[in-house]
Structure 1
């Protein structure tokens, strides 16, 4: 068994979905991979369960009665910026998702969800949790101090990173072993700004210099 799957076995997941015919089979599948699966029928119930149970991972459908998944995630993100969240959407929800860009969603899963896509999303969540548990991440000749956003070299010298440098390095570490798209970099590092190829190359050059000094 892969290491990330072993780690997943120790985690608890909150799954919010209003359609019982979808929720029950999915929850049964998820229970094979996780320590516990908590089921919620809507965003309101899911939010109550989140506060009571504090799950490690959240999987939620976007459109639900009473309070939808977007409302639930927005409420959670007011005070919790770290719990990994996977959001289930339909192709027609693209415009509706524009307001979710800043909510730090690990992955959007498009219906109908294939098992390999679901597992890929859960792997991202495990990586995110492991990253958050680490204060220092090892680079080749240095350490990345996540909390203080700085590089610490083996000789004890420290180099401060800019916001874009630290966001870019953290993104690469979160996606370690995976392909990071141009769009992901623009969204997570440049956010609402336009990112040019020249600006990205300059950022990479600066970061390489700081990590190799």
Structure 2
């Protein structure tokens, strides 16, 4: 059991939860199913998982509230939201509350598994520098931190992955579709909205150096200038 990847699944639809649980357990996951947000909160503190899959609409405590509370304790653990909601603002809210990905119901198990592995994965560090310079910042991909003078800023895995690609392609257009497929696994509309949110977050975290810009190249992608 010790070599299995621990995952908390918070889902109040028991039939769906059972399907997800059984599917993940055949793929080397140890699934801790919780039927509501409060139970998931207790389970998170008791058994530190590698990733959380949270339904948004749950009794006692909804997924957004739970994610916000978890982010106060752990800023890096990957969180995927499962929801029937599909409005653009719901997607934006999900990421603002600390989510890393957003999967609309109904979904295929293969899609969920691909997204879980994408979040758990790490960009290969072969032949890559430990520290990268960006303007007056130092970026450590492995530790997922940005340093500026005495200020240290923690990044999520997805923020770090996106920033790394921007740095590697600085002063060039980073193709939107390629990034979405590489980091999000799909270049659909909702993942595109997610990427826009993460770009906004990176701009804020890089704002201590006014020379750094992440420019939106309409219908193409983004360009990092420092």
For normalisation by structure 2, the TM-score amounts to 0.63
Q: Which residue of 2 aligns with 1:143?
A: 130
Pairing 1:48-67 to 2, within 5 Å after superposition? 48-67=42-61
Instruction: Report the Cα offset of residue 172 of structure 1.
Output: 5.3
The structure whose residues are more often strand, as a share, is: 2
Pairing 1:5-44 to 2, within 5 Å after superposition? 10-44=4-38
Q: Which residue of 2 aligns with 1:210?
A: none
Q: Over the residues paired in the alignment, what is the CA RMSD in angstroms?
A: 3.9
Q: Which residue of 1 aligns with 2:209?
A: none
- Supply the distance in 2 between the matched residues of 1:184 and 1:138 (Cα, whole angstroms): 28
- Supply the distance in 2 between the matched residues of 1:22 and 1:184 (Cα, whole angstroms): 25
Name stretches of at least 5 consecutive residues in structure 2 with no aligned partner.
141-146, 166-178, 205-213
For normalisation by structure 1, the TM-score amounts to 0.67
Name stretches of at least 5 consecutive residues in structure 1 with no aligned partner.
1-8, 153-159, 207-213
Is it true that 1:197 corresponds to 2:191 in the alignment?
Answer: no
Number of matched residues?
179
Q: Which residue of 1 aligns with 2:144?
A: none
Pairing 1:50-89 to 2, within 5 Å after superposition? 50-89=44-83
- Supply the distance in 1 between the matched residues of 2:163 and 2:30 (Cα, whole angstroms): 29
Give 1:187's match in structure 2, choosing from 194, 197, 215. 197
Task: Give the greater-gyration-radius structure (CA).
Answer: 1
